[in-house]
Amino acid sequence: MDGHRGTPYRTIEVSPYSPHVGAEIGGIDLTRPLPAEQLAELRRAFTDHLVLFFRDQEIGFDDHARLAEYFGTIGRHVGVRTHSEPSEDDRVRRFHFDEYSEEVSGNVWHTDQSCAPVPPLASILYNHTLPPDGGGDTLFASMYAAYDALSDRMKTCLEGLTALHDGVRVFGEGTPRATHPVVVRHPDSGRKLLYVNESFTVRINELPAAESRHLLAFLVEHCTQPEWTCRFRWRPHSIAMWDNRCAQHRAISDYLPNVRSGYRVQIDGIAAPVAG
């Protein structure tokens, strides 16, 4: 199938989930090292589709880490309090919810750890066990499409603004805070995108408090309009890999006390977000 930009893929099958975000990748075996051409096409699909989904991949820790290392260096969560826990392998965190969980992780729209001075580039979540009757889907939204849909007047208004992102509400005292531009340019695609989210963005620095509150409320709601989202329905041994620099996501909390269980790896960011 063709990529968004019209160039056909030769070594992987790419099936978009929506016009703006998400594609399922077939014809690939993540339990083995990838041939160079397939890896190049996977990287291109990641840039074009923002979030990649894989099915029926029974990966182990080494496979999970190898996929991450194709895109960067494996990193650590910046939160003081997180929902993941260590696994038998230092590089990979266990991500498990069941009848003893008080809540699930990430059920408010966010980009992972945007409170960090250099937020993670991407996250790769592998789930081997899912609730028997469905549930636990993940929603994704394109911040390119959110930016593109703004009026020219609003785009002009946002130019040069910065916002404070604070991790304290989500991850507790001692978690970092950082200021990032409200409009950011993606280092790989060169496209502009909206970079505020409901979980972490607390104020727009250059505006008085009331203006900041109202503008932020509008932007946060605008970011996740259904027109630029997709919904991923997990099955056992599925993987979702999202570009944290241009996509937001939200986990749906509808399955407890059933079990949803897997592992996740985070890829370090390379540089702080740059103004668009």
The whole-angstrom separation of Cα 24 and Cα 130 is 18
Catalytic residue among 110, 165, 250, 260: 110
Binding to ligand SIN by residue 111, rule CB under 6 A? no
Joined tokens for residue 49: 């589709």
Nearer to ligand SIN, 251 or 267 (CB): 251
* Beta-carbon contacts of residue 77 (< 8 Å; ≥ 6 apart): 84, 93, 113, 266
SS (H, E, C) 101-159: CCCCCCCCCECCCCCCCCCCCEEEEEEEECCCCCCCCEEEEEHHHHHHCCCHHHHHHHC
Nearer to ligand SIN, 23 or 130 (CB): 130
Question: What letter does residue 8 receive in the DSSP assignment?
Answer: B
Nearer to ligand SIN, 18 or 127 (CB): 127
96 catalytic residue (yes or no): no
214 catalytic residue (yes or no): no
110 catalytic residue (yes or no): yes
Identify the residue among 22, 106, 176, 276 touching ligand SIN (CB under 6 A). Answer: 106
Identify the H or E element spanning 250: strand 247-251
Shortest CB 225 distance to ligand SIN, Å: 19
Nearer to ligand SIN, 11 or 107 (CB): 107
Shortest CB 125 distance to ligand SIN, Å: 6
Binding to ligand SIN by residue 253, rule CB under 6 A? no
Identify the residue among 251, 256, 265, 267 touching ligand SIN (CB under 6 A). Answer: 251
Identify the H or E element spanning 13: strand 13-16
Identify the H or E element spanning 10: none
Binding to ligand SIN by residue 101, rule CB under 6 A? no
264 catalytic residue (yes or no): yes
Shortest CB 77 distance to ligand SIN, Å: 10
Shortest CB 23 distance to ligand SIN, Å: 17
The whole-angstrom separation of Cα 258 and Cα 99 is 6
Closest listed residue to residue 142, CA positions, set 61, 50, 217: 50
Binding to ligand SIN by residue 176, rule CB under 6 A? no
Binding to ligand SIN by residue 96, rule CB under 6 A? no
The whole-angstrom separation of Cα 267 and Cα 248 is 16
The three-class DSSP label of residue 95 is strand
Binding to ligand SIN by residue 22, rule CB under 6 A? no
- Per-residue x/- marks for ligand SIN, 131-160, CB under 6 A? -------x----------------------
The whole-angstrom separation of Cα 92 and Cα 86 is 7
Catalytic residue among 44, 48, 64, 112: 112
Report the catalytic residues. 110, 112, 249, 264
Tell me which residues touch ligand SIN (CB under 6 A).
105-106, 125, 138, 249, 251
